[in-house]
Amino acid sequence: MKRSDIGVTALVYAFTLFFLYMTLELPPDAQTYPLCLIAGLLILNTCYLVCCLWQLRRQAGIHNDLPDLFAGFQWKQFAFICLGCVGYMLLMHVAGFYIASICYLVGTLAFLRVPRWHIVLTVVVMAALIYAVFTLFLKVPLPVGLLFK
């Protein structure tokens, strides 16, 4: 068992419980899909934890893999992505989900030096998928932003 496994499984449980709490505040009709996803995530995370504990039982102890994981860590990319997420939330509040998502995708992919045609393809496919799944199929109202209210 690796030391990072402990943190990862604990973090997944924490996020899952947080989203479970938020989901239970939704109207009953809107809870079905999120509850299925949360249940699946809990089951998969528990299976992973059982596998890790099984490995721990067979091995001598917990291997500290954190120095290996953070070798070559790129702080500039990490900071840019974190600040980009904050900017994405702010822009979503002002301009809406679609505009904020397109700006975030283009900005992030350009910062990571992805070829332009990959950026265009990614933005078009993601916008089409989000529109088809959330707007047409699930009929979920996405944030429109203050500019379009």
| pLDDT (tens digit per residue) in 34-55 | 999 999 999 999 999 999 888 8
The one-letter amino acid code at 133 reads V
Higher pLDDT, 96 or 63: 96
Instruction: Report helix angle 75-95 to 97-111, nearest 10.
Output: 160
pTM for the model stands at 0.67
Who contacts 31 (Cβ-Cβ below 8 Å, separation ≥6)? 23, 24
The predicted structure's pLDDT at residue 59: 79
Spatial distance between the Cα atoms of 42 and 45, rounded to a whole number of angstroms = 5
| Residue 53 exposure: Cα atoms within 13 Å on the Cβ side | 7
Distance CA 45, CA 15 (A): 11
pLDDT of residue 71: 82
pLDDT in tens, 58-82: 877 777 777 777 788 889 999 999 9
Question: Contact, 80 vs 93, CB < 8 A?
Answer: no
Chain segment 116-142, per-residue pLDDT in tens: 999 999 999 999 999 998 888 888 788
User: What is the mean predicted confidence (pLDDT) over 8-17?
Assistant: 94
Q: Quick one: pLDDT band at residue 5, thresholds 50, 70, 90?
A: confident
